[in-house]
Chain A
């Protein structure tokens, strides 16, 4: 009953929006200029997620941050590598050691 009720309400409200949508801004007026940036972020994060359990926290997160900085932001690879490793090690210490939150080990032994 509840799913039908919620879906019915959604259809009702969607119909209201469609009926009253005439004077609103056109769909073509929406600025999608950042779509490639957003898509690239999603794709790189998705690749990172798919390797998360296999590679583990340290490797996946270092590579994820590095990829975001180099591929999306076009930053210097050396600085990006140093930053991504330092950031991941800090997060590993903070979550894994200080807060004792179990992180995925993956292929590494620690």
Chain B
């Protein structure tokens, strides 16, 4: 088990560091490699890639001012400024320790929160589950860094694509165009790899990695006493804020780092230091994005609801291994749940040990020209997708989705809600139709059950809030997120 956690953390660090390979593409490409493993080992390895990438992203941000993945954007600002002042080692150490503290804190809360939440959700029937999924999608749109309507449009497209294949209730083929492989529907892996792996490559013109990589020396890694003092409170605040945001559907790890940065700047006695190498500008966002990555597992494990595309793919991985995530997971598969939680405690420690001493080695990887790197990624994409079902149709779907991902990026649409919609489509359709069967086709059932009604009211409240925000054209925090 420890070996798979280590492997996941190592690959995750590399995935987080390399520009153009996000955690989603990394997990999707490597998913087929877990088919020979049992569910616990598979999820331990894949989750290691996810939270490992949050650590790895900080290295390129600090040393190159290139975020390895979106959640590291804020670390670029002060992390790289610290590096230019000769404090690269200290910035990396603070980022790694902050990530470790936040990750461990997140796992502690996950251990406490997930089982009772799952117990509560066991009382949910199909109407409650349907409205919970609706709330999840609306929360995702509300918290999205893109516009609410665009996010919902992408989620609806995902739901529509999720209807391809055999109708689970009637057994009829839908939109399969006599292609037998489409009977099982569009696979998550080809769609995710196409949109996030290939799509990213298509929209990244080949360029060489800048030569000015700042190489920290090992003895420079230890921060000064003042830097430790300045980072302690931001790490604590970032950990709590990140975990709370992580539970909410949306691009939690990205939003949490932006919000942690804004919070630290707001409460700082020296806000003018931000942008010029403020320690809190590294400690806060780095802690927040790691805590959010852990927090995102709470709804996935306890409720069976993915809060973002990464947890959606992880959920798909569990389903492939015959383990349905949700309220029954803790009782029916305690080995998977607790094995996974235990691996995260160890995984965070491994990442701390990996990231600091081996930073010099990892930096050398950044010297590989992108022109040589992306053919390798394309090759891994093809292998990863093909190995799921040994289906050439899946590779064609990946290629088409790559083109779609490229176009979506050009038109300013975020493809993440599409993947989320695709994953929840079968669950959503099943619970919706079961609800309507229960009520003989009356949609009023969603208003007659108290929990379902409360969840719908919350969804409506969020839509009203968004509409008020739009109508008054108020510059809220979302508009500030789009600026960098």
Contacts and interface: CB of A to CB of B under 8 A. Distances in A.
Interface of A: 1-3, 5-7, 9-10, 13-14, 16-17, 20, 30-34, 37-38, 41-42, 45-46, 48-49, 52-53, 57, 61, 64-65, 68-69, 72-73, 75, 83-84, 87-88, 91, 95, 99-104
| A-B interface, 4 closest residue pairs, ranked by CB to CB distance from nearest | A6-B160, A13-B153, A9-B156, A6-B159
Interface residues of B, number: 48
Given A45-B378, A75-B372, 15 more contacts: A2-B432, A6-B160, A9-B152, A10-B153, A10-B157, A37-B206, A61-B379, A64-B378, A64-B382, A65-B375, A65-B379, A68-B378, A69-B375, A87-B375, A100-B36
State the majority secondary structure of interface residues on A: helix
Interface string B391-413: 01001100100110010001100
Interface stretch (B85-93, B197-205, B289-297): B197-205
Contacts of B411: 30
A30 B410 CA distance: 7
B380 interface: yes
B395 A88 contact: no
B365 interface: no
B153 A73 contact: no
A101 B153 CA distance: 38
B153 A3 contact: no
14 contacts: A2-B428, A6-B156, A6-B425, A9-B156, A9-B159, A13-B153, A37-B205, A52-B382, A57-B383, A65-B375, A68-B375, A87-B375, A101-B383, A103-B383
B32 A101 contact: yes
Nearest to A30: B410
A91 B383 contact: yes
B402 A42 contact: yes
B445 to A, nearest CB: 15
B150 interface: yes
Contacts of B376: 65, 87
A11 B429 CA distance: 19
B105 interface: no
Contacts of A20: 149
A51 to B, nearest CB: 10
Contacts of B392: 49, 52-53
Interface string B132-174: 0000000000000000011011001101101100000000001
Nearest to A92: B383
Nearest to B205: A34
Given A69-B371, A69-B375, A101-B33, A45 B399 contact: yes
A52 B163 contact: no
Most buried by A among B156, B174, B379: B379
B371 A42 contact: no
A2 B387 contact: no
A38 B399 CA distance: 12
B379 A34 contact: no
A75 B160 CA distance: 43
Interface in B102-145: none
Nearest to B413: A17
